[in-house]
Chain A
Amino acid sequence: MYSVSLEDNRVVIQCNLVTDSRMRFVSAVYDTGARYTCFRASAIDTGIKEDDCKEFESKYLSGFIGDSFSKFYKYRIDKLAYGTIDLGEQYIWLTFDENVTTNVVGYDIIKQVSRLSIANEDKEMFFGDVSELKQFVNGI
């Protein structure tokens, strides 16, 4: 189980990303209102250049800088761990927009993890699988 405390009514997840054998811890806001998981490219690796991503699928997404749209590229991660929960190979969306400094875990990743929150306990709990969640609930 991985648990995260609410700070100022917000959940921030520590994601562990592995690309090309390089491991990175990157913090990201847990946002159930976001369709896509989005990171600033330099937070993953300052060696990733926009020219390297030109052939990748791209989208223009807003919600980071007022109503402005930033370009995001679909990028393969060898392994993404959501806190302590390993989700294996994943695709995330990277931007090179210098105005984007907040990373977001969106519902594309969130829906892959079983989760539980208890009213007014200011904590979100995530589980590697449903049986772990059931075991926890039975023990409450």
Chain B
Amino acid sequence: MLNVLREDVFETPKEIEQRYPRCKYIFVDFTDLNNLRGRLYAVSDSASSYDELCALSNRLSDEGTNSCIMGEYAEGGMIGVQRELGR
């Protein structure tokens, strides 16, 4: 499910992820990529709302807001060794 929160407080991604573990979220209004601080705009708690999350983040970007999808769902973004079929 997607929840649009539009929070006012500036936080780090780590602080947001402590409040919303196992979720992906839209992080907005950051300016310094070396020292990320921004606001939480929306939270998605499952992959079923991932496309909706992407569409919202894309729209914010098109409107001129710095917007990035961060975080990982319950499986923790587990990535195995990348293999190519047929190679």
**When the two chains form their complex, are residues A46 and B86 in contact, meaning their CB atoms are under 8 A apart?**
no
- Distance between B70 CB and nearest chain A CB, rounded to angstroms: 5
Let me know if B79 is at the binding interface, CB within 8 A. Answer: yes
Decide if the interface of chain B is mainly helix, strand, loop or mixed.
Answer: mixed
- Distance between A50 CB and nearest chain B CB, rounded to angstroms: 13
CA distance A69 to B51 in the complex (A): 20
Residues of B within 8 A of A106 (CB): 82
Residues of B within 8 A of A67 (CB): 80
Let me know if A136 is at the binding interface, CB within 8 A. Answer: no
The number of residues on chain B lying at the interface, defined by a beta carbon within 8 Å of a beta carbon of chain A, is 32
Q: Interface on A for B, CB 8 Å cutoff?
A: 1-3, 7, 12, 14, 22-27, 29, 31, 33-36, 38, 40, 42-43, 45-47, 59-64, 66-67, 69, 83-84, 98-99, 101-102, 104, 106
User: Can you list 13 A-B pairs with a CB-CB distance of less than 8 A?
Assistant: A24-B58, A25-B61, A26-B69, A31-B79, A40-B50, A42-B54, A42-B55, A47-B58, A59-B85, A61-B85, A83-B33, A83-B34, A84-B34
